[in-house]
Amino acid sequence: MTIDMAQFHQVFFDESFEGLDVMESGLLNMDPGTADTEEINSIFRAAHSIKGGSGTFGFTEISNFTHVMETLLDEMRDGRREVTAVAVDALLRSVDVLREMLKAVSADDTIDMDDVQAQQSELEAILNNSESAAPAAGANSAQPAADGAEAITGWRVVFRPLPHMMRTGNDPLRIIQELTDLGDVKVEGDASLLPRLAELDPEECFLSWVITVNEALEKSQISEVFDWVEDDCELSIVPIVTEAVAEQVEAPEVESAVQASEPAQPERRQGERRAEDRRSPVDRRQNDRRSGGGASGSSSIRVDINKIDGLINMVGELVITQSMLSMLGEDFTIDRVERLQDGLAQLERHTRELQESVMQIRMLPISFTFSRFPRLVHDLSSKMGKKIELKMSGEQTEVDKTVIEKIGDPLVHLVRNSLDHGIEMPEVRKAAGKPETGTVHLSAAHRGGNIIIEIRDDGKGLDKHRIESKAIERGLITEEHNLTDQQIYELIFQAGFSTAEQISDVSGRGVGMDVVRKNINELGGSIEIESEMGKGSAIIIRLPLTLAILDGQTIAVGDEIYIVPLVSIIESIQLKPDMINLVAGRGETFKLRNDYLPIVRLHEVFGIESVKTTDLMSGLLVVVEGDGKRCGLFVDDLIGQQQVVIKSLEANYKRVDGLSGATILGDGSVALILDIPGIIRLSSQKYSVADLKQSA
Amino acid sequence: MPAIAQQNGNDDMQQDVEVIGSEYLTFNLGDEDYGVDILRVQEIRGWEMVTRVPNQPAFVKGVLNLRGSIVPIFDLRERMGMPAREYDKATVVIILKVICEISERSVGIVVDGVSDVLNARSQDIAATPDFGENLDTEFITGMASSNGKMVMLLDVDKLQPSVAQADEDVEVA
């Protein structure tokens, strides 16, 4: 047994944090009073694996603590104990304590035993509260050691390996030898299950043993020996108490009968666990972020095996195409040019598919981020005495990994704001004729080239007048402003702006909304607010679908080449004189069917001197849409469509208004990618600057 | 006047110089010689067309594809407020590693030509004289002499304009 266990620790931590998430979400789904067996089972399984793992690795504090939780869950599962709100809350807090313990162990810190003790005694108090526990013989056997610790003079171990045990590489003989190392041991073999020689499968185990250890050992010392085979055998470890020898002879029978009634249980549980692992890659990967942040800090990604298989297939195809092309190239004659073209077309297709699949690897469902909210809402609503129901939709919407990492904190902030400032207290809601329970709806969806994340509540909405007066007070705006509602709501994104009358520890310090907007802008997204007094408010976040690649239209203005994201292009038209109108002598607009849209001359916005033509009739107008606004972008020429890989300008330089990034063209030169909403903003600024200059 | 300032500054400079290192790549802008810490130099390449970035200060010539990453190119003459000059065959771009706030970045500077590697001991490096308001010396950490010529040592980390500064520059331009 001199295997270096440390190498498995990381796996254990990963799996345990995963298990904790499963437990947490399971507990949050559990309604007091009605015990959903499937739900309890999955919580129990998670607790059980954490207990087993921590025992194996010698984290006894964790396994002891988990054992108490497991006992409680076990009773709930068997219907011997009612699922009460108190118990569920205690279990939730225990999950937190357990998470802290695991974090401490993974960081090689010492565990704060005070917290653990407090929580453990709380659990034990619930356990010992016999009012809710139906009388059950088995329940007491969970902690036999505690009852008669002094009187124990030895242990009676019934060890019945399941037939497949030897296939897992475990040797019963070695285990028995290890037991004999502990002291005086008497082993009785039981060969009653041994089949006739003709039917005997030499790889299966048919023997079982009754082992009597005549030493006053701790139970854990014995169970430790069986850690590796726990799930592959029926095992009962019963203390031998001196005064009650006669009873003890029978006791093991009772115990093993309980055990025997579920002989396939450990096996089934394992099977289910595996099946569950396969079923929900979401849950599995969920923990990447947390465990990564907790222990090693290295950023890794768990990828669905199907995606990897797909990649391997595609690389295989690529290799075939490549070898075909090189064979063709070895003795190339002009009459084979058609085959060459075919080959190149194939190569292009494979490359594109490969690129798409590689990008797919970065895409994760947004449920990674959403999964923390049920707990947050549960905790905060009980703390604030509000009744809040959280609805979520579109959790399966896939977004880029970078988005997942960066959107979490802003979302937490926004949801907290909704809970704290949005949703009113139950009595206020009732008085306003609304249902007592407030609703917060968190949703995600793909729309066009964007991901839309919405946080919608049916609370009191933003108080426009309060924001106004606060802003005037702080000198942000003057009293005779003429801001639209939307512009007034924008004010809450100013640093240090808060309208909360009372500062709570949830929110209200005015720190945050500016940071929220900054984070979202960094991701290339935008944020807007819809609100109606008394009805509720919604915060809408738009994020680009993928941060790394886009379909682009290459355009030319003078000598310069730019990329317009294809998703923002509505159509491209050639203007005719009768379509153009002037507003106030200089604001150029054109009529597109029934709409009048402004014309934005790209060469003016970007100061391009080499422009070929300034005559609107001889260039082209690309009708684009960004942030809900439309305009016509005046350019010299359209060149072609291509997929481009987005490179950041910020990595080495800084963000530039009107540009969302850069890309590298086929000839190695750099082309800049236009940010349509940014350009619309820039061009309106140009006009307002021009206004200022004229009036000055 | 300059001599006094030089002496006063000398003691303060001593420590910084130790850290900066002692080998410098020297290059020239017109008749003046400049040096950058050789450990910061990533590569030297001939001038080639870059992609102009709109609405940037004049010294930002554009961006370049440096093995897949987008690197901004600054004209050092214009960055330091010197008159611009036509680019010719001798014009080179030095790609430097700069440390900006927390991240490490690559930037390119356009100079008239590269000359030599200078070995400067810390006692050979003198402080920059103070020219007052008339001349901005924020990029220059010190001065060394090589073969009787004066070499101005550049602080490469100050070349990258901070976001606020760049915006200011745009408005001025």
pLDDT tens readout for residues A410-443: 888 888 888 888 888 888 888 888 888 888 999 9
Residues 6+ apart with CB under 8 A from A262: none
List chain B residues with CB under 8 Å of A692: none
Task: Say which of B52, B106, B161 has its CB closest to residue A652.
Answer: B106
Strands A388-393 and A438-447: parallel
* Cα dihedral sign, A19-A23-A25-A26: positive
Contact flag B105-A606 (C-beta cutoff 8 Å) = no
Tokens of B121: 């001991």
> Cβ(A621)–Cβ(A574) under 8 Å?
yes
CB contact at 8 A, A422 and A457: yes
Euclidean distance between the first and the last CA atom of chain B, given in angstroms as a whole number:
34
The answer to whether A600 touches A631, Cβ cutoff 8 Å, is yes
Looking up residue B79, the CATH number of its domain turns out to be 2.40.50.180
Kindly report which listed range (A86-95, A542-551, B134-143) carries the lowest average pLDDT score: A542-551
Residue B9 pLDDT exceeds 70: no
DSSP label at residue A62: H
Tens digits of per-residue pLDDT, A309-359? 888 988 998 899 889 889 888 888 888 888 888 888 888 888 888 877 887
In this structure, the strands spanning B32-37 and B149-154 are: parallel
Cβ-defined contact of B70 to A657 (cutoff 8 Å): no
Tell me if B34 sits within 8 A of B26, measured CB to CB: yes
- Cα(A677)–Cα(A660) distance, integer angstroms: 10
Q: Which amino acid is at B92?
A: V
Mean pLDDT of chain A: 76
How far is residue A637's CA from residue A618's CA, in Å, rounded to a whole number?
10
Q: Which of 1.10.3720.10, 1.10.10.10, 3.20.20.190, 1.20.120.160 is the CATH number of A6-140?
A: 1.20.120.160
Q: What share of chain A has pLDDT > 90, as a percent?
A: 5
Whether the CB of A649 is below 8 Å from some CB of chain B: the reply is yes
Classify A589 as helix, strand or coil: strand
Domain count, chain B: 1
Would you say B30 and B37 are in contact if contact means Cβ atoms under 8 Å apart? no
**Token representation of residue A440:** 């917060």
pLDDT of residue B118: 86
Distance, CA of A665 to CA of A673 (rounded, Å): 11
Strand ranges of the sheet holding A620-626, from the earlier edge strand across to the other edge: A569-573, A620-626, A629-635, A595-601, A587-592, A580-583
Q: State whether B54 and A664 contact (CB < 8 Å).
A: no
* Confidence (pLDDT) at A289: 38
**Which position among A417, A424, A468, A603 bears the catalytic label?**
A417
**Interface probe with A: pick from B60, B61, B70, most Cβ of A within 10 Å:** B70
In chain A, what are the domain boundaries? Answer: 6-140, 152-242, 305-365, 367-544, 549-695
- State residue B163's pLDDT score: 46
Give Cα A426 distance to the centre of its chain: 31
> Which residue of B45, B48, B50, B63 is the best one to mutate when testing the A interface, meaning the one whose CB has the most A CBs within 10 A?
B63
In A491-629, alpha helices (H): 513-522, 602-605
- Please judge whether A658 and B64 are an interchain contact, meaning their C-beta atoms are less than 8 angstroms apart: no
pLDDT (tens digit, 9 = 90+) per residue, A134-150? 443 333 434 444 444 44
Between CA A393 and CA A530 the distance in angstroms is 19
Can you tell me whether residue A139 is helix, strand or coil? helix
Closest CB from B52, B65, B72 relative to A653: B72
DSSP A510: S
Can A70 be counted among the known catalytic residues?
yes
Question: CA A563, CA A566: separation in Å to the nearest integer?
Answer: 9
Is A465 a residue of the active site? no
Sign for the CA dihedral angle at A375, A380, A382, A388 comes to: negative
Distance from CA of B45 to the nearest CA of A (A): 15
The pTM of this model reads 0.47
In this complex, which of B62, B65, B72 lies closest to A664 when CB atoms are compared? B65
How far, in Å, CA of A88 to CA of A67, rounded?
16
Asked if B172 and B56 touch (Cβ cutoff 8 Å), the reply is no
Q: Mean pLDDT, to the nearest integer, of A247-260?
A: 42
Residue A36 to residue A42: CA distance in whole angstroms:
10
Q: How far apart are CA A327 and CA A307, in angstroms?
A: 31
- The helix (H) or strand (E) run that includes residue B99 is strand B92-100
Pick the CATH number of A367-544 from 3.30.360.10, 3.30.565.10, 3.30.70.2740, 1.20.1300.10: 3.30.565.10
- Taking CA A44 as the corner, what is the angle to CA A43 and CA A45, rounded to the nearest 5 degrees? 90
CA distance A649 to chain B (A): 6
Dihedrals φ, ψ of B151, to 5°?
-115, 130
| Nearest residue, CB atoms, B54 vs list A607, A662, A664 | A607
- Contact between chains at B64 and A670 (C-beta distance less than 8 A): yes
Confidence of residue B131 (pLDDT cuts 50, 70, 90): confident
pLDDT at residue A268 is higher than 70: no
* Averaged pLDDT for residues B127-146: 76
**pLDDT tier for residue A294 given thresholds of 50, 70 and 90:** very low
pLDDT of B72 strictly over 90: yes
Cα separation, A674 vs A662, whole angstroms: 9
Asked if A606 and B71 come within 8 Å (Cβ–Cβ), the reply is: no
Confidence of residue A300 (pLDDT cuts 50, 70, 90): low
The two three-digit tokens of residue A55, written as one number: 């025992």
Largest Cα–Cα separation, chain B: 50
Minimal Cα distance from A660: which residue of B? B53
> In the prediction, which pLDDT does A664 show?
87
User: Annotated catalytic, A521?
Assistant: no
DSSP character string of A18-58: HHHHHHHHHHHHPPTT---HHHHHHHHHHHHHHHHHHHHTT
Of B140, B168, B170, B162, the residue nearest B152 (C-alpha) = B140
User: CA neighbours within 13 Å on the CB side: how many for A601?
Assistant: 19
Closest of B43, B25, B45, B44 to residue B35, by C-alpha:
B25
**Which helix or strand (DSSP H or E) is residue A394 part of?**
none
Give the span between the Cα atoms of A619 and A558, in whole angstroms. 11
State the distance between the two ends of chain A, measured CA to CA, in whole angstroms.
87
Task: Assess whether pLDDT exceeds 80 at residue A362.
Answer: no
CATH T-level topology, domain A549-695 = SH3 type barrels. (2.30.30)
Distance of CA B17 to the CA centre of its chain: 16
Partner-chain contact B55 A658, CB within 8 Å: yes
Per the structure, the complete domain to which residue B79 belongs is given by: 2-172
The single-letter code of the amino acid at A235 is: L
Give the span between the Cα atoms of A352 and A340, in whole angstroms.
18
CATH architecture assigned to A152-242: 2-Layer Sandwich (3.30)
d(Cα A367, Cα A369) in Å, to the nearest integer? 5
Residue of B nearest to A667 (CA): B65
The ipTM value here is 0.78
Q: Are A344 and A325 in contact (CB under 8 A)?
A: yes
- Model pLDDT, residue B85: 85
A658 vs B54, B64, B107: nearest CB: B54
Contact criterion met (CB < 8 Å) for A652 and B70 = yes
* Average pLDDT of span B48-65: 90
Cite the DSSP H helix spans in A264-304: 265-279, 281-294
Beta bridge partners of A188: A210
Tokens of A343: 């080959």
Measured distance CA(A395)–CA(A393) in Å, rounded: 6
The side-by-side arrangement of strands in the sheet containing A670-674 is A637-645, A549-557, A560-565, A670-674, A659-664
Give me the residues of A, 519-578, that contact B with CB < 8 A: 560
Q: Which of A680, A644, A634 is nearest to A563 (CA)?
A: A644
Catalytic annotation, pick one of A18, A48, A234, A603: A48
In B6-75, beta strands by DSSP E: 23-29, 32-37, 41-46, 60-66, 69-75
Going by the DSSP 8-state scheme, the letter that residue A217 receives in this structure is: -
Residue of B nearest to A658 (CA): B54
What DSSP character marks residue B22? S
Rounded CA-CA distance B159/B140 in Å is 10
Q: What is the pLDDT of residues A617-667, one digit of tens each?
A: 888 999 998 777 889 999 999 998 888 888 878 778 888 888 888 998 878
Three-state DSSP at A447 gives strand
